[in-house]
Amino acid sequence: MKGNVIVGQSGGPTAAINSSLAGVFRTAIDRGAPKVYGMRHGIEGLLNEDYVDLSDYIRTELDVELLKRTPAAYLGSCRFKLPEIHEDIACYEKIFSILDKLDIECFIYIGGNDSMDTIKKLSDYAILNGHPCKFLGVPKTIDNDLALTDHTPGYGSAAKYIGTSVKEIIQDSKALIYKKGLVSIVEIMGRNAGWLTGAAALSKGEDCDGPDLIYLPELPFDIDDFIARVKKILSKKPYAVVAVSEGIRLDDGRYVCELTDGIDFVDAFGHKQLTGTANYLARRLAQEIGCKTRTIELSSLQRAASHMASRVDILEAAQVGGAAVKAADEGDTGEMVIITRVSDDPYGSTTELRNVHKVSNVEKVVPREWINKDGTYVTDEFVAYVKPLIQGDVSPIMVDGIPRYLLHNPKKKK
């Protein structure tokens, strides 16, 4: 590579996104890029000329290894929606003047479907204006809702954490017996897709029955039916464990969490903050059954749990980062790297490219046939799809008994 590379991270963080950053960095250096810049807080930071020379911060092989094991977004992330090109040409001129100033040949953005919208707009602008810079997307999201790719880096590690945590919660629920029963409700991220919530079924095995009910956002949620089912479970055993997606909705389209007293935060892409589903349901159960309830909102823990990262996930995350740099170096632009599953057992995958227009702003949800008839569990096919993605471990580098990370948010050197 003759020109420089710039890379940014965008959207919700994951345990694997920094491994993709490591893959971009290492491949760019190996292919001869004179400099690899990192945008601080994605495109929003770049618009303020906030970037760093990554070589100032990732100096040794140990730094690369630490980066791969560091959760969240090393460079800082953003949820920033670029205007349409015709709405604000000045914004695009500004971005491209910064790219020219830095002699950028390759612009890599690591993110989910909203972030691919940024790659789409920038690559469209470059093509329209005959600008030589190449724009490539690297998939990332714990939600696993990106179209065309078999799965997204970040998902496998979050799924592993969820399967493990639900198993631990089930163990804990068995310990104490309450007169009217105990219901533990685990609220899981994933927005409008149930890939993460379905991963609760991974807890099921020889030594664990798995959760009693799993509710995905793909199907309407009926509160009365839910309460009746819990009652029935408690008539047979003293506890119930339920996994619910943060994004479950009523038949009329309202999110269950909207029935709680109002957090009405909406981000730049119009996404409502989804929180409070488990609390609402627990309150309803306590009122109607009088049982003891416990709510566990896995929240940030499920996307930051690098101590529970999947080896497959961390390796693939680095691989897609490297593949994006290679593609740009070979002249591709306006594409996102996808992961294609080659085989399940032994698991194998490869990377390919897909036009980013086909990916941005599209949500891939769990197919109906991977959810049981009642809409209260996932099928064996679902579990068989996820299982290979959670295999293997990546040991944290422990210092004084706690995982060591590469220091986040490097500042621009004067």
Could you give the residue numbers annotated as active site? 143
Q: Quick check: 156 binds ligand F6P (CB under 6 A)?
A: no
Q: Which residue is nearest to ligand F6P (CB)?
A: 12
Q: Quick check: 276 binds ligand F6P (CB under 6 A)?
A: no
Q: Quick check: 366 binds ligand F6P (CB under 6 A)?
A: no
Q: Quick check: 12 binds ligand F6P (CB under 6 A)?
A: yes
Binding residue (CB under 6 A) for ligand F6P from 9, 141, 351, 360: 141
> What is the 3-state composition of the chain as percent helix, strand, coil, each rounded to the nearest 5?
40, 20, 40
Q: Quick check: 16 binds ligand F6P (CB under 6 A)?
A: no
| Cα–Cα dist 165/186, whole Å | 9
Closer residue to ligand F6P, CB minimum distance, 181 or 217: 217
Q: How far is the CB of 295 from ligand F6P (least distance, A)?
A: 17
Binding residue (CB under 6 A) for ligand F6P from 21, 73, 241, 274: 274
| Cα–Cα dist 133/146, whole Å | 25
User: Of residues 89-128, which lie at the interface with ligand F6P (CB under 6 A)?
Assistant: 112
Q: How far is the CB of 301 from ligand F6P (least distance, A)?
A: 11
Q: Which stretch binds ligand F6P (CB under 6 A): 138-146, 207-215, 249-257, 285-293?
A: 138-146
**CA-based nearest residue to 336, from 29, 88, 112:** 112
Q: Which stretch binds ligand F6P (CB under 6 A): 116-124, 167-175, 237-245, 266-274?
A: 266-274
Do strands 104-111 and 4-9 pair parallel, antiparallel, or not at all (unpaired)?
A: parallel
Binding residue (CB under 6 A) for ligand F6P from 38, 42, 156, 190: 190
| Cα–Cα dist 11/76, whole Å | 10
Q: Quick check: 303 binds ligand F6P (CB under 6 A)?
A: yes
- DSSP per position, 110-142: EE-HHHHHHHHHHHHHHHHTT---EEEEEE--T
- Rounded to 5 degrees, what are φ and ψ at 216? -100, 155
Q: How far is the CB of 201 from ligand F6P (least distance, A)?
A: 18
Q: In what order do the strands lie in the sheet with 292-297?
A: 213-215, 239-245, 182-188, 292-297
Binding residue (CB under 6 A) for ligand F6P from 48, 129, 273, 395: 273
Contacts of 395 (CB under 8 A, 6+ apart): none
Q: How far is the CB of 77 from ligand F6P (least distance, A)?
A: 9
Q: Indicate the length of the chain as a whole number.
A: 414
Sign of the alpha-carbon torsion through 272, 257, 297, 138: negative
Binding residue (CB under 6 A) for ligand F6P from 117, 124, 143, 329: 143
Binding residues for ligand F6P, per CB under 6 A?
A: 11-12, 112, 141-143, 189-191, 246, 267, 273-274, 303
